[in-house]
Chain A
Amino acid sequence: MTNPLIQIDDEVREMTDEEYATYENELNPDSAPVE
């Protein structure tokens, strides 16, 4: 499985598993937009 990408300054790379866990924890639920 490929983790999402993180950008630090100009470097773009795949998140480590630890960074991915942090990322998932930082996500608020999607807003279920009304069209």
Chain B
Amino acid sequence: MATTTPNYGWDVPTSTDYVKDGAVAIETLGDDIDATLYTALGGAYPGLRLIKKQTIGTSVSTIVVASAFSATYENYLIQVAGAAAAASGSNCQITFNGSTGSTYYWAGSYTAYNGSNVFHGSNNVASSVIGLTGTNSTTNYNIQVYRPFATSFTSYNTQYATSQYAGQYGGFDNNAVSHTGFSIVSNSALTGGTIYVYGYGAS
């Protein structure tokens, strides 16, 4: 005679149950566990989940991050943390692997710590600026990317602060295609640090 587990009430057979009923009992128990996990976690892929982690090499100008975007998530968080640039105040850009033409738009501003503020932007260019580079391992970016895998425009926004500047940028790729990866393209070569890619739970 079947019984249940003490905490979550999963259906389990007892030692006197027929072996011939074992397959059905396993299926029932599996469904119970699946339902409990789904409820406890808040969905099949809930929360913010780490997809990729890539250590940045020495004096690299372009870093290609493949297989980052998929149908599992709609929106993503990319963090660049602790990279040291050869020079401060150089532009650092992002490109998405489905778009290799001049379809990128970007705009934003940066402020030096003396309060001097600069607004700038560009359109129909081959990449989008995500921020300025920083020395002393302070090339750090927080990049929100919206719908890169969908066959639609991909947009993004960033916040960042280096040891020389703080600022924010946003933009989009005016090309309705799907992307599976991206590249960080820096005017000043980067050394060290890590690129993290997270997916925002969508179900």
**Quick check: is B149 within 8 A (CB to CB) of the other chain?**
no
Among B2-10, B16-24, B69-77, B111-119, the stretch that binds chain A is B111-119
Chain A residues positioned under 8 Å from B185 (CB to CB): 23, 26-27
Instruction: Give the interface residue-count category, chain B.
Output: 35 or more
A34 adjacent to B118 (CB under 8 Å): yes
Chain A residues positioned under 8 Å from B60 (CB to CB): 4-7, 12
If the complex has contacts A19-B62, A30-B91, A31-B89, are A9 and B54 also in contact, measured as CB distance less than 8 A? yes
- Across chains A and B, the number of contacting residue pairs, with CB separation under 8 Å, is 89
Q: Which residue of B lies closest to A33 (CB)?
A: B89
Q: Which residue of B lies closest to A12 (CB)?
A: B57
If the complex has contacts A4-B62, A5-B61, A7-B62, are A33 and B112 also in contact, measured as CB distance less than 8 A? yes
A7 adjacent to B63 (CB under 8 Å): yes
Q: Which of B61, B89, B110 interacts with A4 by CB under 8 Å?
A: B61
24 interchain pairs (CB within 8 A)?
A: A5-B57, A5-B59, A6-B60, A6-B61, A6-B62, A6-B64, A7-B62, A9-B64, A9-B66, A10-B55, A23-B61, A26-B62, A26-B93, A26-B95, A27-B93, A27-B187, A30-B90, A31-B91, A31-B110, A33-B112, A33-B118, A33-B132, A34-B112, A35-B112
Interface residues of B (CB under 8 A from A): 54-64, 66, 88-91, 93, 95, 100, 106, 110, 112, 114, 116, 118, 120, 122, 125-127, 129, 132, 164-165, 185, 187, 189
New A-B pairs, 11, CB < 8 Å, besides A6-B60, A33-B165 = A4-B189, A5-B58, A5-B189, A7-B56, A19-B62, A25-B126, A26-B93, A27-B127, A29-B91, A33-B89, A34-B116
